[in-house]
Amino acid sequence: MTLPLGSSDGLYYVQVQRAVQSEVLKTAQGNATIKHGDVRLDVELDLSNMAEPGIIAFGNTGSLKKRRYLTLRIPESILLRVHRRFRKAS
């Protein structure tokens, strides 16, 4: 995963949650390195045994001075369901 511009290299801790402020489902840690101007965080995280598929948010928690960034991973089945629902509505 690529971290937001201005992130520093070093050790990062990652949590997987269904929603912000919800129960932590998985945790991992990894090292961020700077390559070609991008800060890349390499983390090994096995999501194959999660109880149910769903939208997973990856990102930093932000702070009072920095904006929060999230990357959403949306399963194809959910994406197709939403597309069908919007096509029926229009």
Structure tokens at 21: 């402020």
Mean pLDDT, range 69-90, rounded to an integer: 79
pLDDT digits (tens, 9 = 90+) for 49-74: 766 666 666 666 555 566 666 667 77
pLDDT digits (tens, 9 = 90+) for 38-48: 888 888 887 77
> What confidence tier does 33 reach under pLDDT thresholds 50, 70, 90?
very high
Residue 13 region by backbone torsions, left for phi larger than 0, else alpha for psi between -120 and 50, else beta: beta
> What confidence tier does 81 reach under pLDDT thresholds 50, 70, 90?
confident
- The answer to whether 25 and 18 have CB atoms below 8 angstroms apart is yes
Between 5 and 39, the higher pLDDT residue: 39
